[in-house]
Chain A
Amino acid sequence: MAFPTSVWRPPRACDDYWREYKHCQSFQHLFHSYYTFGSAPSCQQWKLDYYSCQEWEKHHSAQAKDALQASERKRVEEKQQYKPVWELRKKPPHDWYLPLQEERENKR
Chain B
Amino acid sequence: MEQKNEKDEDYGYQLFPDRHNGTSKRSALGTSLFTFKHKCQVMLRIALDTSPYAKLLLGAMKHSGCAAYLDRHFSCEDCDGIVSGGFDATTSQIVLCQNNIHQQAHMNRVVTHELIHAFDHCRAHVDWFNNFKHLACSEIRAANLSGDCSFGNEISRFKFGIKQHHQECVRERALRSILAVRKVSREDAEKAVDSVFNSCFNDHEPFGRIPHNNADAGHAYREFKNRDRYYSNI
Contacts and interface: CB of A to CB of B under 8 A. Distances in A.
B200 interface: yes
Interface on chain A toward B: helix, strand, loop, or mixed SS?
A: loop
B215 A23 contact: yes
B40 to A, nearest CB: 18
Interface string B219-234: 1001100100111111
A27 interface: no
Interface residues on A, range: 35 or more
Interface string B103-143: 00000000000000000111111110000011001000000
Given A11-B234, A85-B137, A37 B164 contact: yes
A23 B219 contact: yes
B162 A96 contact: no
A84 B196 CA distance: 9
Contact of A93 (B92, B199, B223, B233): B92
A81 B126 CA distance: 20
Contacts of A32: 151, 210, 212-213, 216
A72 B234 contact: yes
Interface of A: 1, 3, 8-13, 16, 19-20, 23, 28, 31-32, 34-38, 69, 72-73, 76, 79, 81-89, 91-93, 95-103
